[in-house]
Structure 1
Amino acid sequence: MDISAVGLGAIIVLVFLFLQIPVFASLLAGSVTYFMLTPNIPTQIIAQRVISGIESIPLLAVPFFVCAGVFMNYSGVTKRVMEFCEILMGRTSGGLAQVNVLLSTLMGGLSGSNLADAAMQAKMLVPEMEKKGFSKEFSSVVTASSAMITPLIPPGIAMIIYGSIANVSIGRLFIAGIGPGILLCVSMMILVSVISKKRGYKPARETRVTPKELISGLGTAALPLFLPVIIIGGIRLGIFTPTEAGAVAIIYSLILGAVYREMKFSHIITGLKETITSTASIMLIVGAASAFAWVLTREQIPQQMTGLIVSMISNKYVFLIAVNIFLIFVGMFIEGNAAMIVLVPLLAPVAVEYGVNEIQFAMIFIFNMAVGCLTPPMGTLMFVTCGITKCKIKNFIKEAIPFYILLLICLMLLTFVPVFSTGLVDLIY
């Protein structure tokens, strides 16, 4: 066992990440350092581990759902779902801000990508919100914060990666994500309403919604909103696996494109290119992190960490609080998928030792990584949204303080009230 080689490799990974070197290159650098300093290990194992890390059948769902989400944006789905959200939330306090939150919740089940959601809504909704009197900072924060709901609502890419790493049912994770997603949606709507009333932000519309408008809006958005039902229902009934559900989602998005007559052949080609680039970036991180995770496993770091933590902490709730603090800190500096691939093999076995439900722990982990997307200095959602809306980062952070407090409250509820994560899973399964 060569702990010094592992330690140096880990230090190099952290230093490279702080220097903003690409995540996959940072992880590979740490792995290569270990192999160079450890004798009698063939260097070709690095390549083998990278390749084997992405040769997972469940990971096939990643390009499928990414592709389906891209096609949804080209098929006119987003516009129709947004119009339906405006009908539902137009007269509430905060109007378009409430539409923003609800749209993220509904589109989370269609796009599966929080960055894509944030970018799309920053372009579509923020300019309209500013015209209605909302400040640029508030509009940007609502857009970025609501995009956090996307990884929680099925079919989130984070759930697929977590399930493939921890050997947890992806179908159960999909269902489990609905509870935290709705919790975050409702609590965020309440916060938006309170802030909007305090600042005098007016509703998007003054007139009451007529039954005819409601039925018309629902009819327009019904087909896209039916996709999560098809996915979860098909998986639960055993019609297809979560991986095959991704292929079903692609076919369904193409059907919607034909029905709405907005998707052109050029859109399909562009969508395939976007899918390839997005999937390649994810898989590079997965492969590199798989090699580094192999190093940690070979040196029995997970077992040692489990023994150390169990000997120091006797209460599972104290353990969960410590894990939350640790994951929030990690999420501030390391990309979520990379952190998941490295840390899940370390922390999931420890959680099992404390008797924490594997589904609940998965939701806690994924929620923490989502929070990291919104917090400086590595907050990808923050940078993507501010890059489009031209909002200053310091103004964004100041405006986001109430939302950070809200996220902390929701995290505590997920940690200490398991029913938010496991209730639907227990009911359906």
Structure 2
Amino acid sequence: MTIAVLFGSFALFLFLTIPIGIALGLASVVTILYSGSLSIEFLAQGLVTSVDSFPLMAVPFFILAGEIMGRGGVSDRLFNMANSLVGNKTGGFAIATICTCLFFAAISGSGPATVAAIGGIMIPAMVKQGYDKKFATAVVASSGALGVIIPPSIPMVLYGISAMTSVTDLFIAGIIPGLLVAFSLIVYVYFYSKKKGYKGTNEKTSFKGFLLSTWDAKWALFIPILVLGGIYGGIFTPTEAAVIAVVYSLIAGLFLYGEIKFKHLPRIFVDAALTTATILIIVGSATAFGRLLSVERIPAQASELMLSISENPLIIILLITIFLLIVGCFMDTLAAVIILTPILLPIAIDIGYDPIHFGIIMVVNLAIGFITPPLGVNLFVASGISGLSIEHLSKAIIPFFIAMVLTLIILIYIPQLSLYLPELRQ
């Protein structure tokens, strides 16, 4: 009955449109008061101890770095570089948009931030080039999901903490899957553009032009090299890398590009602080919620239930995948990672899945949730930029959803796509 109270109250609070971080906390309070087996101090302790984590400190710094670079002229320069390479091809603008999101994802670590930074530039540009607005908006919304797959990734940091797994290994494991997801989107965009007659620019691809645009974007391109190179080279931890990313972003935005003024910094810091506060409330509440699940032996019961359905690892992982895709429609990605990792990871380990590989499966699954209604955050951000209704955008996003799910299936059945680079590093 306690379990029913926990999930029932949580569902009720979500139905009442209470923010998910608050809903998780309220559901925990209701359950604690109902059961009487725990004191209310349990929730307070969970809220405090869950955010008292050195790896978790990477999250606010990566958010701040993304905010700074998002306003420092990075988006324009990354697009110019991508456009100089593929802009004259069929569907060139759309393909350049995906490539730009891919590069920006290596800076922001956030799906919605990637959509916001790139969408404001690229959706009007594609419409001006003759692309259908629904298609152009869907391209940006789906490409924004790369923000949590390509490292650095905020959900990967939280998964690493929850699973007690190396965040560095998760980051490096996300490179090939992220590139594969981007490639699947590019393939669909190319054939759709060919069908619709979306031609590229009339300009010829110039190696000199590509070099010039790459040189103009050099300070932006150096961020992932600095951050990820330092992490993989063992020079600094992901948390230290996040701090370095902030310092470098400030130098690039204020002095190297000069598109950020000192008067802009207070607004940037406030926006980053608001985003961080929202995330940390979710993290604290979700951790307390997850501890209640552990007290009620939910992970053990879920494992027993799954294994009673089938002993075939492929069937079980398929059931988990379907479950995560459904969860992604209704639950915030960060909360889902914290709550579900302690439940699902033991099942995955029991059927022979590596924690790193399962982490990638989980993150890609929940990344798809960014483009699935009713909660798809990327849809709302892209809709706000383009002015399209969620209903119209949800229909346009279906082919991109299918492409990402097919890629996810490939990642599930070929573990080496996720594990090759981490194993190569060891």
TM-score range, shorter chain: over 0.9
CA–CA distance in 2 between the matches of 1:103 and 1:181? Answer: 13
Find the partner of 2:247 among 220, 231, 251: 251
Residue 405 of structure 1 corresponds to 402
After superposition, where does 1:16-415 map in structure 2 within 5 Å?
16-203=13-200, 205-257=201-253, 258-415=255-412
Residue 222 of structure 1: how far off its partner (Å): 2.2
Letter in 1 for 2:226: I
CA–CA distance in 2 between the matches of 1:337 and 1:350? Answer: 20
Structure 2's unaligned 5+ residue stretches are none
CA–CA distance in 2 between the matches of 1:199 and 1:105? Answer: 24
Q: TM-score, normalised by structure 2?
A: 0.97
Greater alpha carbon shift after TM alignment, 112-121 vs 181-190: 112-121
In structure 1, the residue corresponding to 2:236 is in which secondary structure? coil
Q: Deviations over 1:57-92 (max 9, x none)?
A: 111000010011111122222221111111111111
CA–CA distance in 2 between the matches of 1:397 and 1:197? Answer: 22
In structure 1, the residue corresponding to 2:149 is in which secondary structure? coil
CA–CA distance in 2 between the matches of 1:414 and 1:262? Answer: 40
Letter in 2 for 1:51: V
CA–CA distance in 1 between the matches of 2:103 and 2:167? Answer: 20
The answer to whether the Cα contact below 8 Å between 1:373 and 1:381 also exists between their aligned partners in 2 is yes
Structure 1's unaligned 5+ residue stretches are none
Paired residues, what number?
A: 425
Identity, % of aligned positions:
37
Residue 273 of structure 1: how far off its partner (Å): 0.7
Letter in 1 for 2:135: F
Question: Deviating runs (4+, > 4 A) in structure 1?
Answer: none
Q: Deviations over 1:9-59 (max 9, x none)?
A: 111112222332100111112111111012242211211111111111111
Letter in 2 for 1:130: V
Q: Deviations over 1:163-203 (max 9, x none)?
A: 11111110011111111110011111111010001001110
CA–CA distance in 1 between the matches of 2:206 and 2:177? Answer: 32
CA–CA distance in 1 between the matches of 2:236 and 2:58? Answer: 12
Residue 113 of structure 1: how far off its partner (Å): 1.5
CA–CA distance in 2 between the matches of 1:6 and 1:210? Answer: 63
The answer to whether the Cα contact below 8 Å between 1:74 and 1:267 also exists between their aligned partners in 2 is no
The answer to whether the Cα contact below 8 Å between 2:133 and 2:386 also exists between their aligned partners in 1 is yes
The answer to whether the Cα contact below 8 Å between 1:5 and 1:33 also exists between their aligned partners in 2 is no
Letter in 1 for 2:151: P
Residue 304 of structure 1: how far off its partner (Å): 2.2
The answer to whether the Cα contact below 8 Å between 1:28 and 1:291 also exists between their aligned partners in 2 is yes
Quickly say closer, same or farther: Cα 1:190–1:311, change in 2 above 3 A. same
CA–CA distance in 2 between the matches of 1:326 and 1:365? Answer: 11
Letter in 1 for 2:361: I
The answer to whether the Cα contact below 8 Å between 1:18 and 1:333 also exists between their aligned partners in 2 is no
The answer to whether the Cα contact below 8 Å between 1:17 and 1:334 also exists between their aligned partners in 2 is no
In structure 2, the residue corresponding to 1:29 is in which secondary structure? helix
The answer to whether the Cα contact below 8 Å between 1:63 and 1:275 also exists between their aligned partners in 2 is yes
Greater alpha carbon shift after TM alignment, 365-374 vs 265-274: 265-274
Quickly say closer, same or farther: Cα 1:387–1:75, change in 2 above 3 A. closer
Residue 318 of structure 1: how far off its partner (Å): 0.8
Q: Deviations over 1:85-106 (max 9, x none)?
A: 1111111111211111001000
RMSD of the TM alignment (CA)? 1.3
